[in-house]
Amino acid sequence: MGDSMHSQQMKRINVDELKEGMKFTKSVFDPHMNIALPAGKVLDRYKINSLKSRGIQYVETAGEMIMVNESEMASLKDSYETEKQETKKIIVSKETAKYIEFYKESVSRLGKIYKKIQSNQSTDTEELQKLASLIVNTLSQEKNSDNFINLVNIAGKGEYLVNHVINVTILSVLLGMKLGYSMVKLFNLALAGLVYDIGMTRIPTIIVEKESSLSTEEFNMIKTHPIHSYQIITRELGLPVEIARVGLEHHERFDGTGYPRRLTGTEISEMSKVISITDTYEALIKDRTYREGKETYEAMKVVLGEGSKKMDPEILKFFISMMSIYPVGSYVELNNGVIAQVVSSDPVSPFFPNVKIIRDEFKEPVKDGSIIRLSKTKDIYIVRSLKSKEVKNADLQR
């Protein structure tokens, strides 16, 4: 029933019919079920061009279309210009940049598979296995896992399911490497990562992307997705039960407060425990239509706070040493007034990462700032974590 109801509510719009100045009362989705335009955001030519350049022919929405008036359009044009200059500021090291293509490729391949499952077409398990191999091989050939952590922390903002799943898979495989998994075990973990949330494709998009808070009934509907995942993984994809268990168990919690079966500790499979940690962190840092993503530092605080009871303590320790309390790419202020960006974690001392100076004590930008190993410098330390916005606005405060 859900699907037929769902398709009546969604309207399909050809990309050629989209015009600057349109906005919609509900989110607009591309064919891969990524959000192409959040509810209430005005369509501009960059967005239209980007859809066309990705070869997207149509979008879908359950919302109504509204045209904005001239004055709104004018004020938006000004804000694009500043936004366009700001988007260039995402700092990606050269090492991280070389994996951007791999990341896009993974997202696009998984998007196609999820789309098939969503429209109940038969899917090719081999495609999933190839993608799992690609991810494991790419990650295990790189000595410096921080490159991928950095990628996950900045990538895929605002797009929902497929980006989220790729990010969780990447973090899970990195965590599996830290836990000393064999290649075979890493491959199974990657496969589990790619499918654990696939049951979400059976929940009406209207509910998944609802901007306001969910009613009890709607939340209960979302809480059925692990069961859908289990059924899709075993029946439609024909994958082994150990992989299907991750679909069923990724919302179970170590202390028995999870769902659907309120399992505790050793009743939960190890792969499920790994993925529930990375899934929790990933869900916190991403922008969703109804809230802004937390800064990476805040997200780690939540994982540490809740995690102590809800996550497997041993696996959590490895996750913290991998991410460090101040994740790679986040910004910090040091006790001497300097602003720095975290470039790598120190596995032995998670509170003392290696940082690169980006602004001096007068908040002036520094070109090629020096790198400080905080674990080795006792008189220099972090006084607070900064939001990326504060760093961008540091110029404006003078």
Helix, strand, coil shares of the chain, percent, nearest 5, are 50, 10, 35
Count of CA atoms in the C-beta half-sphere (13 A) of 42: 17
Task: State the sign of the Cα–Cα–Cα–Cα dihedral 250, 254, 257, 261.
Answer: positive
By residue count, the chain amounts to: 398
Instruction: For the sheet with 354-359, list strands across it.
Output: 371-373, 354-359, 339-344, 331-334, 382-386
Nearest one of 84, 78, 77, 58 to 20, comparing CA atoms: 77
Architecture per CATH, domain 94-323, reads as: Orthogonal Bundle (1.10)
Tokens 């202390």 sit at which residue?
A: 255
Tokens read off for 235: 């029946």
Which segments of the chain does DSSP mark as H helices, in order? Answer: 2-9, 45-53, 70-87, 94-97, 100-118, 125-140, 146-154, 161-178, 183-195, 205-208, 216-222, 225-231, 241-249, 270-285, 296-310, 313-323, 388-392
- pLDDT, residue 189, reads 98
Using CA atoms of 83, 86, 92, 94 in order, give the dihedral in degrees to the nearest 10.
100
Q: How many CB atoms lie within 10 A of CB 50?
A: 12
CA distance 348 to 13: 53
Which segments of 10-124 does DSSP mark as H helices, in order? Answer: 45-53, 70-87, 94-97, 100-118
Domain boundaries, the chain: 2-68, 94-323, 331-395
For 74-77, which contacts have Cβ atoms below 8 Å and span 24 or more sequence positions? 76/42, 76/44
- pLDDT, residue 5, reads 42
Taking only the tens place, the pLDDT of each residue in 244-298 is: 999 999 999 999 999 999 999 999 999 999 999 999 988 887 765 555 677 777 7
CA distance 106 to 104: 5
- In angstroms, what is the C-alpha Rg of the chain? 22
- Which ranges of the chain have pLDDT less than 70? 1-8, 76-93, 156-159, 211-212, 287-292, 324, 347, 350, 393-398
- pLDDT, residue 156, reads 58
Which three-class secondary structure state does DSSP give residue 160?
A: coil
Please state the pTM of the whole predicted model. 0.69
Which three-class secondary structure state does DSSP give residue 247?
A: helix
Q: How many CB atoms lie within 10 A of CB 3?
A: 12
